[in-house]
Amino acid sequence: MSQVEVLPATCPIAVSSTFSDSFAYHDNRGSFSLVLSTSPSNILTKPNLSLPSSRNAENHVQFDDEKGEKIFPSLSPLFRGHPEIHLRNGIMKASRQAAANQADAEKAFFVADLSQVYCQHERWLKALPEVEPHYAIKCNPDPYVLRLLAALGTGFDCASNGEISHVLNIGGIDPSRIIFANPCKATSFVRSAAKAGVDKMTFDNADELYKIARAHPGAKLIVRILADDSKSICRFGIKFGAPLDVVPSLLAKARELKLDVIGVSFHVGSGCYDPSIYEDAVKRARTAFDMGTHAGYTFSLLDVGGGFEDGHFETAAGVLTNAINMYFPHRHREGIRIIAEPGRFYVSRAFSLAANIIARRAPMADGSIEEEHRTPGPKTDEPSVMYYINEGVYGAFNCIMFDHQVVSPYVLSLNGSFHHSTSEPLSLSSVWGPTCDSIDCVCKVAELPSALQVGDWLGFDNMGAYTICAASQFNGFEFSDIVYTASKAADEEVRRVLRRFAKDLEVS
Ligand SMILES: *Cc1c(COP(=O)(O)O)cnc(C)c1O
């Protein structure tokens, strides 16, 4: 019998008193410690977050830590404080709901930190002050993220009718801030874009030009050229981008159809891990600009696409800036607007996920069909415990399949406590999603405390990009909820810009 089966299987989540009424903990990941209380009337913790009262007075907004702030009537409230606090609050809330036998009490949930999005924008402005970001909304069309970015003045990269409506329905966003950056569009989508006032769109083939000539003759076109995408997680080159040698004929066709081509775009692929690739792409764009001149156009837009990875951002920005300066020197740059289409850069770090361990078992051993393939003796390099959590690859973890991500779980709560010692014995474990499909594996091998039980919670960071947006409800598992916070890093700034944006919407 395996070790798992002899472990006492308690279910701490069902017993709210397992979370002691009031306890302090030291976080071994973050740098803060606080006192949490589980009494229902005081569920939201009040660590040292109160701001100087003068600053509160200045904004004339009474902030209620328990209820958060309702900035937009249609959205859930915005809280403040470190995401960690809200992960723990959510777990305690789940614990109380479980004690009250509420359905779905232990549901997985996200915590989104809007300050993180704000800080990424600051990082962008600092590293690429000349490049106007157009957020690729497919990456995460979260209503708060879109409103914050709209309030900060970014543009938007949309790829469909639905995405265009999604952005325009927010209100307060002029269609000129949208680029329809899908080179292969249905004719009806081109027509809808025309109706919505979205003029900027990309193309990379001749059929597209005929469609646009018919459905939106006044469009401002951008030729998407093929870039070397061999250094990206998600390669786009097999699907999109005109090779440079066909660009002259495409431009001649556009001329013939009396279409206006205003510039060049490329995309190095999503999740670019070798920033040097941007240099080659800008060089190709320069060639395409010259081809434009040759065809009788005066190009005024350079779109450097997306692909910016959080971890390589400053390096990529440096390479890009140097390449722009080299191929589009200042003296020739007048009248040329440079834009980009970052997606994951803005959101990947802003979302964390808390998932509940709903089941646990030992891997198949005796009588397994694979038995004959096994090497004799104890297997030390294979997981000895399988944990089943309530998010999986059919849900938010679809990023594992589609976005080639590798996720790493950490312990949020162990045996009903947020505190666990780093000397806790570990076991090789695997983590699985809740559906009945065996493809639903979140993590093949992870070192997790041997004492983890059903009812404990695992956390996953960097869950903001290409997760929620592509999740399904396969097998009847619902989408996870999202709790919004603006942590200390930019709490005041986020609230200020969002309040102003909301107010402008009200008056317009
Ligand atoms: C997906 C996509 C992006 C965003 O890519 P990231 O890697 O998330 O930055 C930008 N532009 C286009 C055309 C895309 O298809």
| Residue pLDDT, tens place only, 315-372 | 999 999 999 999 999 888 889 999 999 999 999 999 999 999 999 999 976 544 454 5
Query: Residue 357: what pLDDT?
Result: 98
- For residue 21, pLDDT over 70 is answered with no
Determine contact, residues 320/309, Cβ cutoff 8 Å. no
The CATH class of the 141-342 domain is: alpha beta
pLDDT of 10 above 60: no
**What rounded mean pLDDT belongs to the chain?**
87
Q: What is the Cα–Cα distance from 446 to 57, expressed in whole angstroms?
A: 48
Q: What percent of the chain has pLDDT over 70?
A: 85
Neighbours of 435 (CB within 10 A): 18
Instruction: List, in sequence order, every beta strand (DSSP E) within 2-101.
Output: 22-26, 33-37, 78-80
Q: Pick the residue with more confidence: 433 or 366? A: 433
Which H, E and C letters describe 369-392, residue by residue? CCHHHCCCCCCCCCCCEEEEECCC
| CA nearest to 43, candidates 94, 103, 114, 99 | 94
Q: How far apart are CA 213 and CA 193, in angstroms?
A: 13
Residues 6+ apart with CB under 8 A from 87: 111, 352, 354, 412, 459
What's the 478 CA to ligand 1 centre distance in angstroms? 27
Residue 247 has pLDDT above 50, yes or no: yes
- Residue 306 CB–ligand 1 contact under 6 Å: yes
| 436 carries an active-site annotation | yes
For residue 66, what pLDDT is reported? 82
How does pLDDT run across 153-174, given as a tens digit for each residue? 999 999 999 999 999 999 999 9
Helix or strand (DSSP H, E) at 168: helix 161-168
CB atoms within 10 A of CB 259: 21
Q: Token match 């692909």: residue? A: 307
Centre of ligand 1 from the C-alpha of residue 340, in Å: 9
What residue ranges do the domains of the chain occupy? 55-129+345-508, 141-342
Specify the pairing of strand 351-361 against strand 337-340.
Answer: unpaired
Q: Is 270 in the pocket of ligand 1 (CB under 6 A)?
A: yes
CA-proximal residue: ligand 1, atom 8 (nearest):
343
User: Mean pLDDT throughout 106-123?
Assistant: 98
Rounded distance from Cα 158 to ligand 1 centre (Å): 10
Domain at 55-129+345-508, CATH from 3.40.50.1000, 3.40.50.300, 2.60.40.1930, 2.40.37.10: 2.40.37.10
On the question of pLDDT at 119 being above 90, the answer is yes
Give SS3 for 318. helix
From the list 436, 441, 443, 469, the catalytic residue is 436
Reading the block at residue 250, the tokens are: 């495409």
